[in-house]
Amino acid sequence: MRKITAGLFISLDGVVAEPHTWHFPYYNDEMGAAVMGDVHGCDTFLFGRTTYDAFAEAWPARELAGGEDAGLAKDFGDTRKVVVSSRKLDFTWRNSERLQGDFVAAIEALKAEDSRKGISVTGSVSVVRQLLAAGLLDELRLLVHPIVLGQGLRLFAEGEGPYPLKLVTSQTFRTGVMHLLYAPAEVAEGAAAE
């Protein structure tokens, strides 16, 4: 069974919205290695429509421009991309397709595919929430930035959960960013009542 790993940039107060406006001052080689490990460990990206649209607008142009990130852009383009959307989509980025049918059944089918590599979710908060709610997310990788934003879309909406998780690994980067890897955990008996 293939693993689904979700990776998100997140502030101390849980904001995940528009990381391109606040996360770059914290980006360094350590963060780059963590992010690239997720990219190279998968052969399928799972996106929500909004995140997919942003990537599809940026990465093909970067590949064509031939700059320093053209190789990464080519890797993104060559990788299968499955988009979760309730509406029909017209794809201009190669290797893109829409998730068909019931969300849970379609994700279970993706996980059951014959592959040694995993499925990576980048951003796509609504998809991460659905995966958590369905018990289908195997790893949640958070890059917690030492900044409080005070407003914006948060990873967990009011009234969601509970989603019991266990910390598998943690690493603090030189910039103060914490790379936290969580996996699903069983709820300790009596914990919900406390």
Query: pLDDT at position 145, please?
Result: 97
Burial of 191 by CB count in 10 Å (0-12 exposed, 13-18 middle, 19+ buried)?
A: exposed
Q: What is the pTM of this model?
A: 0.89
Q: What residue ranges do the domains of the chain occupy?
A: 4-184
d(CA 137, CA 127): 10
Write out the two tokens for 49. 């429509």
Give the C-alpha separation, 15 to 151, whole Å. 7
- Mean pLDDT along residues 131-138: 95
Residue 151: pLDDT band (50, 70, 90) is very high
What's residue 187's pLDDT?
64
Looking at the chain, the whole-number percentage of residues with pLDDT higher than 90 is 74
4-184: which CATH architecture? 3-Layer(aba) Sandwich (3.40)
- Taking alpha carbons only, the member of 124, 60, 69, 64 closest to residue 96 is 60
